[in-house]
Amino acid sequence: MSPSAQLRTGLELFGHPFSSYTQKVLIALYANGTPFEFRIVDPEHPENFAELKRHWPFGKFPLLFDDGEPLIESTPIIEYLHAHYPGENDWIPAGEMEQRVRFLDRFFDLYVMSPLQRIVGDALRPEGFRDPSGVDSARKDLRTAYDWIEGQLGEPWAIGDAFTLADCAAAPSLFYADWVEPIGEARPQLAGYRARLLAHPAVARCVEEARPYRAFFPLGAPDRD
Ligand SMILES: N[C@@H](CCC(=O)N[C@@H](CS)C(=O)NCC(=O)O)C(=O)O
């Protein structure tokens, strides 16, 4: 047991409302009505960042504590919630769809969220330290991802009727990716899926809670969504 474990009870999520990976976990918590306390990682709360870094020196969020025990990385966090805090939504349905859910979760993290982070990260660099060819290549990866997933998606959710881990990953990644590289009308299935995700109550709540931070989006947030 870690030193702080005896002092704390229940679930505590460290993250930021505007962070896509924080939203991925928030969607799972909100959709199942799982009670937790939110600990914002921002300049006004340096103690939260210090605590995060004590447990995960990379300083990346989200990080979930359960009775003081840390869980790291969005997918293992949702796997943990699935195992220990079951609810209305079955995040990783057992049986033939399990592999598909796990694969789509990897797809949205690695092939949508990662190029998106490369593009946004580049925009945060000072002039003279940017990498336009890296950004071009990330945009190309996003278009490849969009084209590949078009025709692969279930309805209404990624694998069909069940709202799963794959949708928790898809919602924030597609939400922001469309801002930097529009999905467009040529991919109607993907555009429709993104619209259904944004209408899901747990996703809509995350979008609203993140709205006050849109001015910080380095590429400029579009006047929609
Ligand atoms: N693979 C990690 C990614 C976490 C991640 O990249 N988080 C971003 C916020 S969306 C972050 O912590 N950025 C701050 C930083 O890199 O310093 C996960 O699934 O949780």
Each residue's pLDDT tens digit, 23-42: 999 999 999 999 999 999 99
Ligand 1 atom 1: residue of nearest CA: 73
Nearest atom, ligand 1, residue 72 CA: 20
pLDDT at 3 over 90: no
Strands across the sheet with 37-40, in order? 37-40, 11-15, 63-66, 69-72
Ligand 1, atom 15, residue with closest C-alpha:
60
Q: Dihedrals φ, ψ of 193, to 5°?
A: -60, -45
User: For 164, phi and psi rounded to 5 degrees?
Assistant: -130, -175
How far, in Å, from the CA of 142 to the mean position of ligand 1? 19
CA distances for 44 relative to 62, 196, 215, angstroms: 17, 34, 17
Report the predicted TM-score, pTM, of the whole model to 2 decimal places.
Answer: 0.96
The strand pair at 69-72 and 37-40 is best described as unpaired
Is 69 strand, coil or helix? strand
7 confidence band (pLDDT: 50, 70, 90): low
Rounded Cα distance between 179 and 123, Å, is: 13
* pLDDT over threshold 90, residue 6: no
Contact between 177 and 142 (Cβ < 8 Å): yes
Distance 186 CA to ligand 1 centre (A): 31
Mean pLDDT for the stretch of residues 82-103: 96
Taking all residues of the chain, what is their mean pLDDT, rounded to a whole number?
95
Reading the block at residue 174, the tokens are 């597609």
Query: How far apart are the CA of 62 and the centre of ligand 1, in A?
Result: 7
CA 101 to ligand 1 center in whole angstroms: 21
Provide mean pLDDT across the span 46-72. 97
Ligand 1 pocket by Cβ (under 6 Å): 19-21, 59-62, 73-75
pLDDT tens readout for residues 94-153: 999 999 999 999 999 999 999 999 999 999 999 999 999 999 999 999 999 999 999 999
Q: What is the mean pLDDT of residues 86-97?
A: 96
Task: Write down the pLDDT at residue 9.
Answer: 77
Residue 101 near residue 164 (C-beta atoms within 8 A): yes
What integer is the mean pLDDT of 68-93?
97
State the distance from the centre of ligand 1 to the C-alpha of 61, rounded, in angstroms. Answer: 5
